[in-house]
């Protein structure tokens, strides 16, 4: 790569000054590792991630613009992991640190899919900073040599390129080049060699996009400028066959805290020429906001655009994922933060919303396109242990209709720290599908590293590896244990008791549900059935006399209620019962059991508008109409769920299909309903609530459903699961 002499002198001079003045390095913190490698790499004692932050202007309770465990930061650094099918290993790099101080180490390891073990990490270099923007990326050439690109953040520090001494081997590396680049995205294409997208900062500290190419990683072309609009750009990119595509935004002249609009460029000739999505070759560099690469304009809407990922459908159509918000500052004032995708359909970009669960602009998500219709997102976007700081819990979203609707389930819960930046490996294999780090979002902390399988099994990389062990087992992590219940200690065979609340006039559950309970549950489950009125839900109010006493002796609660406000003492008893972690089973209209569509309850009564989301894990948005009847089938990935044992499928429901997509984080869908035109919605799921209790919900429950053996078995299994009893046989 050819850089002018003045730039290199400036970088090296600044680097020399940093050796003296960087706050991470003191007399009490000696340099242990060199800044570049040439030979056998030293091993580390375990996996540890760097902690880093950027303060935001104005301070306040959310003093960091982004912060936390950022060992896999950022999406502008890619790829950090690559699956190599020739050896069945996923190689990865990350921003590590010393055991006793927060100084950035560039570390490398791999996951062996054949053995299920991790290689002891090796330390490539000490970057002499704690800045996670300097994190490394890697690439693997067609001969199996591993290339590590060590970034700089701006022009103040040098960047490096290293190559492994042997193919598919992390033991020893050679130094190839000392230079300067930021936000490295090196893509090795067998046909062309390296297409190296990266950023260079000009004298005004503007981020400008460049591309360099090399057939062998040693001789590099002069960098070609791709885009230099106003104050610059961020980009993230991905290859597809012999093509490389990149999405980018731009910084208006009003300041770098603003980043807006969305653009796309691609090259199919190894980076020599660049086209927009229609194939039109563009003149470089792009210097105006309104240019042929524009996907969507957000500047006039005063919306910031935060890039997340780009991927491709099997036939090569690009799909971009990004987040919009009203401003750069952390905190609720810039909500809603909306995660979106926009997909090229061959004629137009089609934008769709995924979720509004993000509470920080730098909450991250990786996009997986596994078939034409089955898409997946792994995101650090769930409820955050440190709210409104970067990251949260890890949530897996899945779509069976090419991103039109999404279902969500948590991969982590009750974490101590925010989980951050789940990154997709290039050519991701099922056993190592994403990796990330955690860390306290509100103050400096330790940081651990994790990965997940495609099925959602989460593992932590060990903090400490015993001496003499080169390959180590990852530590199972996943969801925290459920809250124990007093009823769990009851002897086997002792009956569980359910309180059943019924108050709806549309679906005949005052008749069908008691009949089911009497005929199907058997002697191990007894019930107290409290019937409200059969009046239409427009009357708004109802009462269940005796519910307070019934709940005191109950192990669980079944609800088939439609839009009823209750007396305060009854609602308080129901809320207290649920908050204690007791099981809840919801049937059909339970999704709007206590909702009055946001209107005030009549005097002397109380509604519960958030019951659907808080207790059932749902997102009820009315239905498609009674003239559209869904066919009920198993949802992808749920066929082996024990709750579906004995459930005969398919059947055509007698009732309308409830709209619940996208589900919020947490529910685990079991069944879906599909209309004749292909529209689908989840119709049954389980949900582990934040209070530790179990919820089973189904939006089915029309009288004709109660004539289906599969539905009766589903209800039996759901009730047994909620009560922690063996599934119905």
Beta bridge partners of 638: none
- Looking at the predicted structure, is the pLDDT value of residue 157 above 60? yes
Q: Residue 538: what pLDDT?
A: 59
User: 599 to each of 603, 606, 618, 692, how far by Cα in Å?
Assistant: 12, 11, 20, 30
Strand order in the sheet with 182-189: 182-189, 193-201, 207-214, 224-227
Distance CA 647, CA 700 (A): 14
Short-list 438, 422, 435, CA closest to 91: 435
pTM recorded for the entire structure: 0.68
Q: Residue 17: what pLDDT?
A: 31
Q: Which two tokens stand for residue 657?
A: 């299909």
CB 418 within 8 A of CB 390: yes
CB 478 within 8 A of CB 546: no
Q: Is 12 helix (H, G, I), strand (E, B) or coil?
A: helix
Give the chain's largest Cα–Cα span: 86
Tally: H helices and E strands in the chain = 6, 43
Contacts 24+ apart (CB under 8 A), 311-316: 311/238, 311/367, 311/368, 311/369, 312/238, 312/240, 312/245, 312/369, 313/343, 313/369, 313/372, 313/402, 314/369, 314/371, 314/372, 315/372, 316/240, 316/241, 316/243
- The residue behind tokens 């040439």 is 38
Distance CA 408, CA 561 (A): 25
CB 138 within 8 A of CB 145: no
Task: Name the region of 707 (left: φ>0; alpha: ψ -120 to 50; beta: rest).
Answer: alpha
CB 357 within 8 A of CB 395: yes
Q: Which two tokens stand for residue 612?
A: 């659907």
- Looking at the predicted structure, is the pLDDT value of residue 4 above 60? no
Q: Residue 682: what pLDDT?
A: 95
Q: Which two tokens stand for residue 234?
A: 């961020």
Q: Residue 537: what pLDDT?
A: 57
Quickly list DSSP for 500-567.
Answer: EEEE-SSS-HHHHHHHHHHHHS-TTEEEEEEE---S-GGG-B---TTHHHHHHT-SEEEEEE-S-BB-
Which range (232-241, 390-399, 404-413, 457-466) has the least confidence?
404-413
Length, in residues, of the chain: 729
- Looking at the predicted structure, is the pLDDT value of residue 493 above 70? no
- The residue behind tokens 């579906």 is 644
Q: What angle in degrees, to the nearest 10, is found between the helix axes of 509-520 and 709-722?
A: 70
Q: What are the tens digits of pLDDT across the range 252-266?
A: 999 889 999 999 999
Distance CA 558, CA 384 (A): 30
Quickly list DSSP for 375-389.
Answer: EEEEEE-SS-SSTTS
Beta bridge partners of 726: none
- The residue behind tokens 């997940």 is 452
Q: Which two tokens stand for residue 319?
A: 């799909």
- Name the pLDDT band for 597 (thresholds 50, 70, 90): confident
Q: What is the mean pLDDT of the chain?
A: 90
- Looking at the predicted structure, is the pLDDT value of residue 434 above 70? yes
- Looking at the predicted structure, is the pLDDT value of residue 96 above 90? yes
718 phi and psi angles, rounded to 5 deg? -65, -40
Q: Residue 30: what pLDDT?
A: 61
Distance CA 702, CA 683 (A): 12
Short-list 199, 191, 222, CA closest to 137: 199
Burial class (CB in 10 A: 0-12, 13-18, 19+), 45: middle
Quickly list DSSP for 643-708.
Answer: GGTT----EE-SSPPBP-PSPPSS-EEEEEEE-TTS-EEEEEEEEE-TTS-EEEEES---TTGGG-
Q: What are the tens digits of pLDDT across the range 322-354?
A: 999 999 999 999 999 999 999 999 999 999 999
Q: What are the tens digits of pLDDT across the range 175-201?
A: 999 999 999 999 999 999 999 999 999
Q: Residue 409: what pLDDT?
A: 85
Q: Which two tokens stand for residue 50?
A: 């760097």
Q: What are the tens digits of pLDDT across the range 345-395?
A: 999 999 999 999 999 999 999 999 999 999 999 999 978 899 999 999 999
676 phi and psi angles, rounded to 5 deg? -60, -30
Q: What are the tens digits of pLDDT across the range 616-652?
A: 999 998 988 778 899 999 998 889 898 999 999 999 9
- Sign of the alpha-carbon dihedral angle for 178, 180, 184, 185: negative
Name the more confident of 221 and 541: 221
- Name the pLDDT band for 10 (thresholds 50, 70, 90): very low
Q: Residue 486: what pLDDT?
A: 47
- Name the pLDDT band for 535 (thresholds 50, 70, 90): low
Element (H, E) at 354: strand 349-358
Pairing of strands 556-561, 243-250: unpaired
Count of CB atoms situated within 10 Å of the CB of 3: 17
Short-list 507, 513, 520, CA closest to 702: 507
Q: Is 166 helix (H, G, I), strand (E, B) or coil?
A: coil
Quickly list DSSP for 297-329.
Answer: --GGGT-EEEEEEEEE-TT--EEEEEEEES-SS
Mean pLDDT to the nearest integer, 95-99: 97
Q: What are the tens digits of pLDDT across the range 553-588?
A: 899 999 999 999 999 999 999 999 998 889 999 999
């Amino acid at each position: 790569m050819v850089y002018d002499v003045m730039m290199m002198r400036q970088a090296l001079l600044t680097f020399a000054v940093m050796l003296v003045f960087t706050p991470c390095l003191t007399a009490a913190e000696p340099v242990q590792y060199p800044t570049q490698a040439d030979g056998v790499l030293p091993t580390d004692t375990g996996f540890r991630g760097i902690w880093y932050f950027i303060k935001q202007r104005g301070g306040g309770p959310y003093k960091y613009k982004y912060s936390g465990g950022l060992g896999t930061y950022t999406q502008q650094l890619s790829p950090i992991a690559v699956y190599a099918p020739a050896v069945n290993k996923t190689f990865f790099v990350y921003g590590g640190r010393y055991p006793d101080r927060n100084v950035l180490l560039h570390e490398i390891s791999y996951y062996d899919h054949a053995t299920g073990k991790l290689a002891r990490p090796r330390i490539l270099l000490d970057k002499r900073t704690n800045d996670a923007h300097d994190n490394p990326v890697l690439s693997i050439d067609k001969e199996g040599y591993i290339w590590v690109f060590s970034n700089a953040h701006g022009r103040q520090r040098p960047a490096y390129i290293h190559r492994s001494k042997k193919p598919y081997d992390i033991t020893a590396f050679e130094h190839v080049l000392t230079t300067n680049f930021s936000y490295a995205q090196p893509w090795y294409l067998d046909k062309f060699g390296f297409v190296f997208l990266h950023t260079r900062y000009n004298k005004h500290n503007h981020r400008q996009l460049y591309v360099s190419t090399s057939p062998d990683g040693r001789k590099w072309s002069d960098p070609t400028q791709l885009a230099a609009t106003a104050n610059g750009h961020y980009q993230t990119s991905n290859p597809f066959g012999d093509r490389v595509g990149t999405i980018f935004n731009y910084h208006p002249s009003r300041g770098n805290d603003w980043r807006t609009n969305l653009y796309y460029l691609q090259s199919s000739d190894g980076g020599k020429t660049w086209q927009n999505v229609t194939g039109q070759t563009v003149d470089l560099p792009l210097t105006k906001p309104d240019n042929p690469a524009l996907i969507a304009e957000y500047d006039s809407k005063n919306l910031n655009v935060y890039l997340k990922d780009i991927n491709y459908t099997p036939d090569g159509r690009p799909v971009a994922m990004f987040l919009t918000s009203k401003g750069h500052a952390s905190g609720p004032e810039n909500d809603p933060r909306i995660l979106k995708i926009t997909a090229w359909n061959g004629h137009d970009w089609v934008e769709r919303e995924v979720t509004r669960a993000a509470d920080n602009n730098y909450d991250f998500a990786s996009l997986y396109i596994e078939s034409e219709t089955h898409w997946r997102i792994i995101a650090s976007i769930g409820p955050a242990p440190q709210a409104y700081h970067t990251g949260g819990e890890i949530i897996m979203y899945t779509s069976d209709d090419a991103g039109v609707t999404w279902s969500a389930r948590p991969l982590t819960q009750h974490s101590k720290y925010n989980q951050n930046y789940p990154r997709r490996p290039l050519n991701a294999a099922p056993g190592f599908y994403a990796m990330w780090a955690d860390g306290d979002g509100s103050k400096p902390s330790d940081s651990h590293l994790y990965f997940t399988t495609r099925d959602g099994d989460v593992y932590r990389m060990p903090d400490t590896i015993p001496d003499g062990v080169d390959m180590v087992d990852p530590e199972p992590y996943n969801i925290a244990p459920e809250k124990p219940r007093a009823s769990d200690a009851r002897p086997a065979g002792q009956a569980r008791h359910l309180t059943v609340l019924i108050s709806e006039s549309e679906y005949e559950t005052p008749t069908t549900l008691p009949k089911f309970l009497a005929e199907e549950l058997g002697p191990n489950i007894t019930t107290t059935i409290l019937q409200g009125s059969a009046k239409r839900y427009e009357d708004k109010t109802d009462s269940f006399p005796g519910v307070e006493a019934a709940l005191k002796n109950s192990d669980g609660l079944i609800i088939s209620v439609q839009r009823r406000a209750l007396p305060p003492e009854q609602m308080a008893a129901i809320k207290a019962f649920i908050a204690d972690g007791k099981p809840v089973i919801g049937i059909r209209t339970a999704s709007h059991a206590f909702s009055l569509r946001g209107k005030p309850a009549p005097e002397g009564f109380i509604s519960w508008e958030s019951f659907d989301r808080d207790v059932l894990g749902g997102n009820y948005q009315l239905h498609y109409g009674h003239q559209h009847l869904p066919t009920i089938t198993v949802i992808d990935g749920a066929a082996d769920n024990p709750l579906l044992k004995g459930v005969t499928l398919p059947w055509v429901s007698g009732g309308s299909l409830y709209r619940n997509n996208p589900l919020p984080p947490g529910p685990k869908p079991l069944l879906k309903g599909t209309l004749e035109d292909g529209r689908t919605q989840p119709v049954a799921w389980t949900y582990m609530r934040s209070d530790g209790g179990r919820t089973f919900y189904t939006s089915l429950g029309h009288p004709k459903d109660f004539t289906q053996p599969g539905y009766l078995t589903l209800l039996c299994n759901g009730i047994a699961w909620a009560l922690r009893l063996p599934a119905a046989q």
